[in-house]
Amino acid sequence: MTALRRSWMVLGLWLTSSLLAILFPTEIVNGHDLFLNLSYLFGSLLMISYLWARFSLLGLRVTRRVHTLRTYVGHYAEEIITVENYSVLPKLYVEVRDYSDLPFHRASRVLSGLAGRSQRSWMVRTPCYQRGRFRIGPLVLCAGDPFGLFLFQREIGLTSVLTVYPFTAELPGFSPPTAEREGNVWQRRHTYDVTINAASVREYVPGDSFNRIHWPSSARLGRLIVKEFERDALAEVWLVLDMEQRAHIARQTDEGDRVDLSPPSHVPPENPGITLLMPATQEYAVASAASLARHFLLERNWPLGLVTYAYGQRRTFVPPDYGARQLDRVLSLLAVLQPMGGVSLAQVLEMENAYLTRNALLLIITSSVYDPQWVAAVQHPVWRGGRAMVVLIDPVSFLSESAAIGATEAVSLALQERGVPCSIVRRGDHLSDALRFSRVDILFR
């Protein structure tokens, strides 16, 4: 029975007892005092319960401290919630309700016997199994009276946004083909990052870091001189992620798939090193793209960009750049991508061919095996002197039936005949092992 129904029941009893006390005076009914006492009892109960519940929410302060606003699939989101009673009156019970949309986030608590001038704190650790952006909060405080007649609420507008990056696997066995520029092909592109290519010097301006100062020139000229750097002579790496809606499928199950995970050392010790990927081709494609981006940007320090058509015919891309900041940009985009594109992979490759520089390394991630027209388009950047590699997400492994089995192998064979390394990722595969490309000779025509 809800508090509203109970309060209406007590109100009805009070009205009935008051009416009987009026209708039956003392000289007619000897029980006049009984009805009058009942009227006083129910009236006092309503008033005391209302005031008790009303004042139970006064003097409360709530603080919410989120440890990080970014995490990874397979890691934990942590926060500390503190409820402080700064009044002298104790609180019989206070319920804290959380309305976050992060899956498996259980921050709600019932606090009983909260003494005056005291506080309660608890830590919430939520395992993250799904990538995306999620709202943390708001909180709602609920309090009532001991008889459960009234329930009052107060919303605490403490909200923040948590970004869950896709899972990234270690790729110790991944060795891409070299993609250095040939001859005197050199693009003089200045960068603010410190590289091994110091190109020139200039005057110091506020904001320049001290590791850029060229001390011999500064001592000779009597003022601060800093070095300017240029990008390395490595070709750009482009991740082409196929997000066409027709190319992706999902298998609806209650359990995810166990996938390798060789997590970084900062994963909490209670994390068993096994994460869950949703059984959908787009999740495996995004995880593969994130793993490759991490490998090139952090392990090899190569410039990397990303392009995809995930929303209709709109081109979504991240320009090539270096380092951890670029990885953060790529992962932020991958965290929210959904397969709603309306452009086929063959059309994407035709349109993007004009933007690729000579000797660019093209990494294609797709699950399109039933429409292999894009296989011929992969050769275009190869003919121009570039490199191409393909990650095939096998859609057949996500289906319960065995229809069209062998389609993925046929596409892989067609790619290798054209001199394009190919890796096949199936449902349940360890990404660290699956992203090992076949050893083929790169053909240039």
- pLDDT mean over 86-99: 92
Contact 243, 367 (CB under 8 A): no
User: How many other CB atoms sit within 10 Å of the CB of residue 83?
Assistant: 22
41-45, 108-112, 235-239: the lowest-pLDDT one: 235-239
- pLDDT mean over 10-21: 85
Express each pLDDT in 43-67 by its tens digit: 999 999 999 988 999 999 999 999 8
Of the candidates 298, 294, 282, the one whose C-alpha atom is nearest the C-alpha of residue 241 is 282
By residue count, the chain amounts to: 445
pLDDT for position 243: 94
Read off φ and ψ for residue 392, nearest 5 degrees: -100, 120
Domain boundaries, the chain: 3-56, 60-165, 198-230, 237-434
- pLDDT mean over 179-188: 44
pLDDT for position 213: 87
Average pLDDT, the chain: 82
Sign of torsion over alpha carbons 242, 246, 247, 249: positive
Cα separation, 119 vs 202, in Å, equals 57
The pLDDT > 70 percentage for the chain reads 82
Contact 127, 76 (CB under 8 A): yes
**Does domain 237-434 match CATH 3.40.50.850?**
no
Express each pLDDT in 128-161 by its tens digit: 989 999 999 999 999 988 888 899 999 998 899 9
The pLDDT > 90 percentage for the chain reads 40
Indicate whether 254 pLDDT > 60: no
Domains 60-165 and 237-434 share a fold: no
What dotted CATH number matches 60-165?
2.60.40.10
Express each pLDDT in 354-366 by its tens digit: 777 777 889 999 9
Structure tokens given for 106: 């259980």
Express each pLDDT in 17-27 by its tens digit: 888 878 765 54
* pTM: predicted TM-score of the whole model, two decimal places: 0.77
Sign of torsion over alpha carbons 282, 170, 358, 177: negative
Tell me the pairing of strands 190-191 and 225-230: antiparallel
Contact 317, 346 (CB under 8 A): no
Of the candidates 239, 207, 211, the one whose C-alpha atom is nearest the C-alpha of residue 321 is 239
pLDDT for position 252: 43
